Amino acid sequence: MATTLIDTDYFAGMYTSSRMKEIFCDEARFQAWLDVEAALARAQARLGIIPEEAAEKITAAATTDNIDIAAMTEHFRVSGFPILPMVNQLNNALDEETRRYSHWGSTTQDITDTGQALMLKNGLSHLEKTLILVEDALIALSEKYRDTVMVGRTMGNQATPITFGYKTAIWLAEFLRHRERLKEYRPRIEVGQIGGAVGTNASLGSRGLEVLSETMNELGLGEAPITWHVSRDGWTEATFLLGLVAATCAKIAAEIGLLMRTEIAEVSEPYEIGRGGSSTLPQKRNPIICPTVVATGRMAREKVGLALDCMVAQHERDVGGGHLEWTLLPEAFVLTGGALEKILELLRGLVVDKNRMRENLELTKGLVMSEAAMMALAPTMGRDKAREVVQDVCNDCIDKGIMLASALENHSLISKHLSKEDIATTLDPANYLGTAPQMIDRTISLAKKS
């Protein structure tokens, strides 16, 4: 019976990726272990360590169809370690002569680590595909709203103009960096091991490194120069990557949630009748995706600290670290995958209100353009003097509730330097975007090339 909300049927769709759950489910985990056992047998047969016929039989038997999961689970409760029950189940499908060669020279951690590496490889592949879909959605938004002017906000207050495409292109650039990290990290993460009891491969004699190489070739995994039973930095790096991706998703969700506020109302989640309805307030259209992603992002980021704890491993086999990784890594993947898929849904259906963006630009009666006025005066007046004069004008506008344009036009000193037409041009938000459009174009171009 499921108890956590990431596992219950009712809530699971809020937090998790169904595809990631398939990749890290029990059946996939058991099959990954069996795949490692079969690859190990084939590698050893190729090296003449066990008979070829034994390897063929082990490979044919290494499928979850031959596993009695209920019996295996009961055995696990007694033994306390996950691989011996699986090996016993595998042996039940083998003849007596072949059984002697199964799990030859290996140990529990070899199978659990290498099996998990196979699952991580599949998880990272799905992560990459989803990242690309999110990037495509952000490219479309950045192109569509490249020149849609809105107010930029700093410290929660209106600052100077930006465009909505500029905001989404910043998100796009962040995802591009995540995909660059993914490409760099994968060779260090998708690594298996065959090391035996303490990692020295003593049970395989002088053939240990050959068996390692052949087994990893069979599985399509990399190999480390030395056993990593107590070196968990690679998987910590994987968790860091997931935490980074989840944090970006949460940042976007939090931002959109803020922009959905009644007082701002510049964007909104995709809406259909009944969605986001309050149980008591008929008028409400609450955000549904945003709070879920923010919460999911927090849960995923929590795993980073746990992964760092796993690096502090003692002797040649840690007490508890492996047990922690068995749960934190799959959870980090399914949570981050869920956050990504929700963000993709949000971005693809995002509703953008250009008119409200324009209205909000005008809320301060032009004061968001005060820096533009200051910089227009600076060449002839000097920056410090220009700031002092414009600040006095702004204070007057705030006190009297008048338009900045009118105050500038009627200021005796300013009118000597700027004509009415100059002021109108200066205070047009579309004329004070700096290089935002060019940066948007550069980011989109980079994304399309990648």
pLDDT digits (tens, 9 = 90+) for 230-282: 999 999 999 999 999 999 999 999 999 999 999 999 999 987 655 655 545 45
Burial of 187 (0-12, 13-18, 19+ CB in 10 A): exposed
Distance CA 151, CA 168 (A): 14
Residues forming beta bridges with residue 268, ordered by sequence position = 351
Give the per-residue pLDDT at 404: 95
Contact 204, 196 (CB under 8 A): yes
DSSP character string of 47-112? TTSS-HHHHHHHHHH-SGGG--HHHHHHHHHHHS-SHHHHHHHHHHTS-HHHHTTTTTT--HHHHH
Question: What are the structural domains, with CATH classification, of the chain?
Answer: 17-106+208-220 (1.10.275.10), 107-193+228-363 (1.20.200.10), 364-449 (1.10.40.30)
Q: What is the pLDDT of residues 334-360, one digit of tens each?
A: 999 999 999 999 999 999 999 999 999
The per-residue pLDDT for 283 is 57
Quote the pTM value: 0.94
**Residue 241: which of 296, 186, 168, 310 has the closest Cα?**
186
* Integer Cα distance of 42 and 52 in angstroms: 7
pLDDT score for 406: 95
433 CB-near residues (< 8 Å, 6+ apart) = 149, 161, 162, 163, 166
Q: Report in angstroms the alpha-carbon separations of 192 from 42, 124, 214, 238.
A: 16, 15, 11, 14
Percent helix, strand, coil in the chain (nearest 5)? 70, 5, 30
Q: What is the pLDDT of residue 17?
A: 93
Question: What is the rounded distance in angstroms from the CA atom of residue 134 to the CA atom of residue 340?
Answer: 8
Q: Which residues of the chain have pLDDT under 70?
A: 272-285
Residue 157, classed as helix, strand or coil, is: strand
- Contact between 299 and 292 (Cβ < 8 Å): no
Contact partners, residue 340, CB within 8 Å, separation at least 6: 17, 127, 130, 131, 134, 245, 249
Residue-by-residue DSSP string for 158-227: EEEEEEHHHHHHHHHHHHHHHHHHHHHHHHHHSEE----SSSS-GGGGGGHHHHHHHHHHHHT-EE-SS-
